[in-house]
Amino acid sequence: MHPVHRSGLLLLALLVTSASAAAAQSDPALERARKLLRSVPLIDGHNDLAWEIRESKTAPMDVAAYDLRTRTAGHTDLERLKAGQVGAQFWSIYVPGEVKDSGYARIQLEQFDIARRFIARYPERLALALTAADIEREFKRGRVASLLGMEGGHVIENSLGTLRSYYDLGARYMTLTHNVTLDWADAALDSTRHDGLTDFGREVVREMNRLGMLVDLSHVSPATMSDALDVTQAPVIFSHSSARALTEHPRNVPDSILQRLPKNGGVVMVTFVPAFVSNEVAQYEKRETEENKRISAEVADTAEVSRRMEQWSAANPRPQATLAQVADHIEHVRKVAGVDHVGLGSDFDGITNVPVGLEDVSTFPQLFAELIRRGWSDDDLRKLAGRNVLRVLQEAERTSERLRKERQPSTMTIGPVATPMSP
């Protein structure tokens, strides 16, 4: 290379470096947030990448084609995980509660397969994690500790043996319901049939405690939340919910439940779902649903329904949630439940719309910068980032160790066992 050219490139590099340093210094809160997240694993409670891969429009279920080393169409890839300083991720292995084709187990096992394959495909950046100690070890190694969380208790098909098999495959939490009420638990967005948990539902919670699987109360009704808190011997989580006092949405957590968390030790992992953090978005989506029902009742042709809904949407622009509103929910959970009982559960790749300022997994530091501007201490921010969830995992592991010594795996069934017919 010509010496003059080399000198010019060196000068350009120095100018770029100086500009970057100046930009960082211009936002000391963001720089402080990034420094803090280098000291503690940021644990996100819910990311639907496995379902995003399954539903890919170009190569459904093809883990190799959905290349995380490149910029993906969704919210998640390796470069953006690094920029967001994500230290540990609960990858949701979700199965819709409405699926009826061949039972839920086939799809659930396929979701285990997709998640475990994409974790194994990038060993330089991702590592399967099963315990709190795994998270801390992988954080020190610079890899994203990757845990698996099942979304919806329908996948156990009323069988505790199936629950145990899923634990052995690596599931470390289970959301008791998704959006469909089960034979043993009421969901938040469906009809109330049991006023919470049935006797079998309570046994599901006990068996999860014995296994060391976290009881996830996102998606369940308030009565189910209350019953689970009555039964559980280990801390619970809400993997992706926000505060109902701020946004009146059935998926959010009432203050009456938040007030019980200190005794239980659990954590609400505040979510970024726009309708859960913004009253304006929640009301918009309610009107949108009502309009869709009205048009569908008048018109049989689905294409015409879609056309009319597009017209309605054009005439009724969707409001946007904001990063500041997410921070408001975090602060409300801290105010009511305490700073030891709040975490983060983004729901990235499980949502189409995102809050302004929280567009993908790279944006977590900006949320911490906002809380720094609001006066949060470094110690409280470390609790929010990951220490609270690490404590919950550790306590669940200790509870499991004790309960496994006290009782055998449960053989309870939901009803009479069918007698096989004679050949």
Spot the catalytic one: 48, 340, 360, 370: 48
Rounded distance between C-alpha atoms, residue 406 and residue 110, angstroms: 34
Spot the catalytic one: 154, 178, 194, 249: 178
| Whether the Cβ atoms of residue 345 and residue 67 lie closer than 8 Å to each other | no
Query: Does 203 participate in catalysis according to the annotation?
Result: no
Query: Does 46 participate in catalysis according to the annotation?
Result: yes
Spot the catalytic one: 75, 240, 329, 332: 240
Query: Does 178 participate in catalysis according to the annotation?
Result: yes
Spot the catalytic one: 52, 134, 138, 151: 151
Spot the catalytic one: 44, 46, 134, 249: 46
Q: Which residue has the tokens 């939490």?
A: 173
**Angle in degrees, CA 365, 370, 372, rounded to 5:** 90
Query: Does 52 participate in catalysis according to the annotation?
Result: no
What are the strands, taking DSSP E only, across 190-296?
A: 214-216, 237-241, 267-270
Spot the catalytic one: 194, 219, 249, 332: 219
Rounded distance between C-alpha atoms, residue 270 and residue 336, angstroms: 13
| Whether the Cβ atoms of residue 170 and residue 159 lie closer than 8 Å to each other | no
Strand bridging mode 342-344 / 267-270: parallel
Rounded distance between C-alpha atoms, residue 278 and residue 2, angstroms: 58
Query: Does 183 participate in catalysis according to the annotation?
Result: no
Query: Does 347 participate in catalysis according to the annotation?
Result: yes
DSSP sequence for 304-347: HHHHHHHHHHHHSPPP--BHHHHHHHHHHHHHHH-GGGEEE---
Tokens of 190: 């469906």
User: For residue 112, which amino acid is it?
Assistant: F
Spot the catalytic one: 216, 227, 347, 370: 347
User: For residue 39, which amino acid is it?
Assistant: S
Query: Does 194 participate in catalysis according to the annotation?
Result: no
Residues annotated as part of the active site: 46, 48, 151, 178, 219, 240, 347
